[in-house]
A = this chain, B = another copy of it.
Amino acid sequence: MTLLRTHLGGALRTARLAQSRSLREVAKSARVSLGYLSEVERGQKEPSSELLNSICEALGITLPSLLADVTHSLRAAETPTLTVARDAA
């Protein structure tokens, strides 16, 4: 089943890795525990809206920009055939 928290976590992880930053550094900046951020990134925990804002702020990204990435990721997951067809063309 496609779950919002899986794609949300993936998008947060992608944003963090694109900045070559560690879980520890971003967690500290967002004032959340390293374990919490790790669980959120792996889609194992639903972040509250408040903590999601803290994480976005720590990453220097906006909530709508993150959501746009999540929407894209969800759409890609829902249309595997089309994605393959586009890649092959």
Question: Given the complex of chains A and B, what is the CA–CA distance between A62 and B70 in angstroms?
Answer: 13
Q: Within residues 21 to 77 of chain A, which ones have a CB less than 8 A from any CB in chain B?
A: 46, 48-50, 52-53, 62-64, 67-68, 70-71, 74-75
Interface residues of A, dominant DSSP:
helix
User: Which stretch in A2-10, A12-20, A81-89 binds the other chain?
Assistant: A2-10
Q: Which of B1, B46, B50, B71 contacts A67 (CB 8 A)?
A: B71
Chain B residues in 8 Å Cβ range of A6: 49
CB distance from A66 to the nearest CB of B (A): 9
Residue of B nearest to A74 (CB): B64
Closest to A75 in B: B64
Query: Which B residues are in CB contact (< 8 Å) with A48?
Result: 46
